[in-house]
Amino acid sequence: MQARRLSIPECFEFTPRVFPDHRGRFVAPFQEEAFLKTVGHRLRLAQTNTSVSRRGAIRGVHFADTPPGQAKYIYCARGSLLDVVVDLRAGSPTFGEWTSVLLDSTEYKSVYLAEGLGHAFMALEDDTVMVYLCSEPYNPAAEHGINPMDADLALPWPHDIEPLLSEKDTDAPSLKEALEQGMLPRYDECVAYYEKLRAEG
């Protein structure tokens, strides 16, 4: 498995080997040894999620109160999607910046984003299946969102696909509003939490 550090700190792309034959294909999207070597600690697995989305569906930008936050290891099991990670950590050198990766069921690339980062994606095909490995269970009281159509963020959604959003994501605040309201994770607290995880192995 190959690993690549993305432009936002604590965000990584993993590319596994895919083994095709006359029956289909086999792939291991998550491999602990490669993850530990790259990230510096094991992935605590508390919950797995699966979403099935229509073409154009946007989910996000979602994040959780940190600590403990919710780290995510994500891959596309069917179809294709544009995955976007946004640095929402107030005080971060890359605050407000984003990075994106095309995830599909051909290469089976994965994205890992640490606690405190925001996550969103757009499905590029009908019946696109996204699988999430989450470090913490779902906690509604600690879950928040930023409007994925925030003009200041200018996320790279394809212009030729009509976006489909939930009412919750449509009504979410802009990044500027969330910062003013004190909703966002603090970079120093996130870094201290990452160091704690690495110290624990």
Q: Which active-site residues does the annotation give?
A: 62, 132
- Select from 196, 41, 185, 70 the least CA-distant residue to 134: 70
3-state helix, strand, coil in the chain (%, to 5): 15, 40, 45
Residues 91-100: b if buried by 16+ CB within 10 A, e if exposed? ebebbbebbb
Q: Looking up tokens 């432009």, which residue turns up?
A: 7
Task: Identify whether the C-beta of residue 79 lies closer than 8 Å to the C-beta of residue 104.
Answer: yes
For residues 184 and 136, give the distance between their C-alpha atoms in angstroms, rounded to a whole number.
18
Those residues with Cβ within 8 angstroms of residue 154's Cβ, 6 or more apart along the chain or in another chain:
none
